[in-house]
């Protein structure tokens, strides 16, 4: 529940923070024309920006689906391990953006690429695994209830991220918001590492084994 909460603070907060980053990279829309023309320009720019970031971010889902359960680099890519990788990558990328914000603003394509990669690794890692881990981590008796609690914690995080990102940015600056995101990523990584454990056997496996054993006995 805690990792889902912190991830949604990051994910939904940054979803609404996208226009600020894109404006920092490419500047704002012009406003010399009529209101209707300006509104259309703003809409087209928002759509173009979303398309650019989406082209970087969406493949993260496909990569996650491809690697989960496989053994790569002598390590089995369990959902927990994929989530850890996602938070590490996000933390590093947010740190780079926050530390070199003024420099990256002068290289728009690089700022957009690095910022887009935060969404790629979000989709590759926790945006995929937070939905599947509850069914693997919680015991059968409390799985449905605690899955709901975890999802609710995520929605609370989404509300906090969406509500406070812009005021916090106005208060401490865009660069410090990115560094704050890096700190939240580190906290979520630590919580995943310390508290998220996938049992080697679960009730479903035991049930399947028991069923198989009973069948053999009957035979």
Average pLDDT for the chain: 85
How far is the C-alpha of 205 from the C-alpha of 187, rounded, in Å?
32
User: Residues 48-85: pLDDT tens digits?
Assistant: 878 888 999 999 999 999 999 999 888 899 999 999 99
Dig out the tokens for 116 from the structure. Answer: 């887009």
User: What does the DSSP assignment read for 117-149?
Assistant: HHHHHHHHTHHHHHHHHHHHHS-TTTHHHHHHH
Quick one: CA torsion of 121, 123, 128, 133, rounded to 10 degrees? Answer: 30
Q: What is the pLDDT of residue 72?
A: 86
Q: What percent of the chain has pLDDT over 70?
A: 86
pLDDT confidence bin for 29, thresholds 50/70/90: low
pLDDT given at position 98: 96
Instruction: Name the token pair of 77.
Output: 């890519």
In whole angstroms, what is the distance from residue 18 CA to residue 165 CA? 11
If phi > 0 it is left, if psi is from -120 to 50 it is alpha, else beta; for residue 28 that is beta
For the chain, the distance separating the N- and C-terminal CA atoms, rounded to the nearest angstrom, is 44
Per-residue pLDDT at 112: 92
pTM score, whole prediction:
0.84
Supply the pLDDT for residue 36.
Answer: 52
Is 11:158 a contact under the CB 8 Å cutoff?
A: yes
For the stretch 173-211, pLDDT in tens is: 999 999 999 999 999 999 999 999 988 754 444 333 333
Structure tokens at 143: 């799985």
Q: Token pair for residue 172?
A: 């401490």
CA 158, CA 135: separation in Å to the nearest integer? 21
User: How many angstroms separate the CA atoms of 45 and 88, rounded?
Assistant: 31
164, HSE (Cβ side, Cα atoms, 13 Å): 14
Neighbours of 159 (CB within 10 A): 13
pLDDT tens digits, residue range 91-139?
Answer: 999 999 999 999 999 999 999 999 999 999 999 999 999 988 988 999 8
């Amino acid at each position: 529940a805690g990792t889902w909460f912190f991830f949604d603070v990051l994910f939904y907060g940054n979803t609404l923070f996208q226009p600020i980053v894109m404006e920092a990279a490419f500047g704002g829309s012009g406003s010399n024309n009529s209101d209707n023309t300006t509104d259309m320009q703003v809409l087209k720019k928002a759509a173009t920006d979303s398309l650019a970031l989406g082209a970087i971010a969406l493949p993260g889902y496909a990569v996650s689906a491809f690697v989960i359960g496989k053994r790569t680099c002598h390590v089995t890519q369990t959902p927990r391990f994929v989530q850890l990788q996602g938070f590490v990558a996000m933390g590093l990328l947010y740190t780079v953006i926050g530390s070199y914000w003024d420099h990256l603003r002068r290289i728009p394509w690089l700022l957009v690429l690095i910022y887009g990669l935060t969404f790629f690794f979000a989709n590759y890692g926790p945006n995929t695994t937070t939905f599947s881990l509850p069914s693997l981590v919680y015991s059968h008796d409390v799985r449905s209830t605690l899955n709901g609690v975890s999802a609710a914690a995520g929605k609370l995080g989404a509300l906090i991220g969406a509500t406070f990102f812009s005021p916090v940015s106005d208060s401490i600056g865009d660069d410090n918001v990115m560094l704050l995101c890096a700190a939240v990523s580190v906290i979520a990584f630590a919580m995943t590492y310390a508290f998220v454990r996938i049992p080697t056997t679960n009730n479903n496996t035991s049930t399947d084994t028991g069923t198989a054993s009973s069948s053999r006995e009957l035979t």
